[in-house]
Structure 1
């Protein structure tokens, strides 16, 4: 067995190398056992806990990458060897980088755990919060990895103060190159914070209308009434007028109709009261006013205003249909005729024009009444 202690590789005996390997394996085994114990113990506690802290820790620990923990274990092992200072330094830095990366993975799983839990709770109570949580998750992950990157670079001996200063200058050039993307990103943050609309809202954007399905970092997606998906960049959504019908509490309805000029004054005067009675008979409608508004080209024009107590469009159309049908019935009973577009033409010098029919059913004009002073 003397050859184990006598034979050397890179100025270290085989015994030293075996000892280093054993320490590495032992350290890795300890990491695995600790992970297993924590997951099982905390998992059991999380089943009886009133909060989700234990469950979140278990969720993070399940994301442990053993190949990353190999580098800290290797750093323990190399301490048993006689190596140049540079080798110890490299092993230490590799262990630190691996550990920080693993911390980043644990942090990402923590963020995703709490975001998913918050989304599940917000779906039924606060849809706006559910919309914003996706962007919060992204921002949290960006901040986490940015901090870890700076810590890793500092640990490797990089002057991060000069780096940050250099990034400030270079960031201007990058911002100019990707200003459209950044514009959509900041527009997304504005949508998240200000909440002009959230998932599930029915909105009208310009000439397009649909239900909000998704609010992302670059685009917002709507589902139109005809079924297709409409995709808008976030900056476009904020640069145009958006009408949000989901937040409507009541609906103000204005409609009009006209009656013939031959309608007597007494019947005209009673029309507003008739309309009032019809509208007030609708349970979901609140009468506002009915007026003889104007003299139209071919009719007396009336205007009616009422308030729908519910915002639903189908409910409004049902009520409007009932009002229209009742108007037709009541006006028919009262002998009031709705007007339709007509135009009377007056020909100076032509009087008493009438159309006659002969026995064969052909139309002819009475020549004696065609014109004054004409044969």
Structure 2
């Protein structure tokens, strides 16, 4: 009854102060936990019947050593919480004695009981709540507000302002949890209720701590991902996003296990069941796991990144996206092909975007009427003319060699490199080179050969 009235009273005060809703929920959790668990006795006050009950339950199921150790640790925490509450009330009695020495009438007024609780206890609890409100709103608010303004003026810290603003909430929750514990310690006298309230405050405190760790993790990976995006390292940015989710999941799992342990639940059985379930899940999703590790190997080894021009055994095109299951390639005919990452990780992938220059190999044929001197002059002129063409890489040189007597032509093999590898530049360079070849052939009075067939007909027939 007392806890319920106190909960409604303080909640109404907080609502008038425009405190956020999660604080009102915090009060409700604490006070309802204490109210529902009234009458429980901690281990230090346990009587003989309780021991008999434990012995009876031990006959049914013998606790494991881990459970015994956990129970001892929780009982020690409960005893410390009860002793702390007694010390708090002892200081309150000292304050009352001090007031009695100054004004006995005021002391008599403060010891009057309402719903079984002295007025001085209500005043102490309210003063504690008010002090916490001032600390959170003004004392803590000033440095956080200063940091937010400071980082908002800095162009180098994109996420610092949001990080400081987000970190303010879990820090406030930690202070509220401790303050509410002290406030309830002034009012609650039952040892079992104090122990349960202490556990509830401990849970809320750890929730706030892990909440802050999650915010720090988010800010770190978000800043790292944006830096990689600025450098066009989108594939690595995808890996950073995945790592952020993994770390957040690990933090949440650790938080849940810590909370369950604080509630007196043995988490070893839960971990064992998760291990068995994980094995079953891994067996059922072998392809998914293989694709995931394939994506990790692609992102770490980086044989290609988003935007690269690649060729696989199945298709050729530009990489459009690298996911955790498959990689999507946009072909030159504008179709979209999705290839499992496990397949790409196992086969060879030709990455044309990694070419520093682009090679061109072509063969031209001259007619058989070309003389030796004309051929030698044409080869020298071709080398010189191609080197002078805009877009041809002079560092790698030009190869122009008479290589074969063809069926209907004298074949010349030409090899050169373009400075850039994109298709438009490559095609324009080839056009300029082909025009230069035609000019060299015309200048030397030569002709291009084309497939032809010579037919010889005899003038007469043999007589019988």
TM-score by length of 2: 0.62
Question: Larger helix proportion, structure 1 or 2?
Answer: 2
Change (3 A) 1:6 1:305: closer
Alpha-carbon distance between aligned partners in 2 of 1:100 and 1:199, rounded to the nearest angstrom: 41
In structure 1, the partner of 2:188 is 82
Match of 2:284 among 159, 164, 177: 177
**1:286-320 deviation per Cα after TM superposition (whole angstroms, max 9, x unaligned):** 33322222233332222111133333332222221
**1:346-368 deviation per Cα after TM superposition (whole angstroms, max 9, x unaligned):** 7xxx635xxxxxxxxxxxxxxxx
Change (3 A) 1:337 1:78: same
Alpha-carbon distance between aligned partners in 2 of 1:136 and 1:327, rounded to the nearest angstrom: 56
Change (3 A) 1:230 1:77: farther
Trace 1:47-86 onto structure 2 (pairs within 5 A): 47=152, 52=157, 55=161, 57-61=163-167, 64=170, 74-82=180-188, 85-86=191-192
Alpha-carbon distance between aligned partners in 2 of 1:68 and 1:233, rounded to the nearest angstrom: 46
Change (3 A) 1:49 1:269: closer
**1:202-234 deviation per Cα after TM superposition (whole angstroms, max 9, x unaligned):** 333334344444433334344554555544433
Change (3 A) 1:326 1:51: closer
Tell whether 2:151 aligns with 1:41: no
Change (3 A) 1:38 1:154: farther
Alpha-carbon distance between aligned partners in 2 of 1:238 and 1:90, rounded to the nearest angstrom: 55
Tell whether 2:254 aligns with 1:144: no
Q: RMSD across aligned C-alpha pairs, in angstroms?
A: 4.0
Trace 1:207-246 onto structure 2 (pairs within 5 A): 207-225=314-332, 229-246=336-353
Question: Larger strand proportion, structure 1 or 2?
Answer: 1
Match of 1:323 among 404, 427, 433: 433
In the TM superposition, residue 158 of structure 1 has moved relative to its aligned partner by 3.6
Alignment check: 8 A CA contact 2:173 2:205 kept: no
Greater mean deviation of Cα atoms: 47-56 or 74-83 = 47-56
Structure 2 spans left out of the alignment, 5+ residues: 1-108
In the TM superposition, residue 76 of structure 1 has moved relative to its aligned partner by 4.2
Change (3 A) 1:169 1:227: same
In structure 1, the partner of 2:442 is 332
In structure 2, the partner of 1:135 is 242
Match of 1:267 among 362, 371, 374: 374
* Greater relative CO (CA pairs within 8 A, separation 6+): 2
Match of 1:153 among 257, 260, 264: 260
In the TM superposition, residue 29 of structure 1 has moved relative to its aligned partner by 6.5
Greater mean deviation of Cα atoms: 201-210 or 178-187 = 201-210
Question: How many equivalent residue pairs?
Answer: 351
**1:46-92 deviation per Cα after TM superposition (whole angstroms, max 9, x unaligned):** 35779759646514326659889876665444323436555444444
Alignment check: 8 A CA contact 1:56 1:110 kept: no
Match of 1:289 among 369, 388, 399: 399
In structure 2, the partner of 1:298 is 408
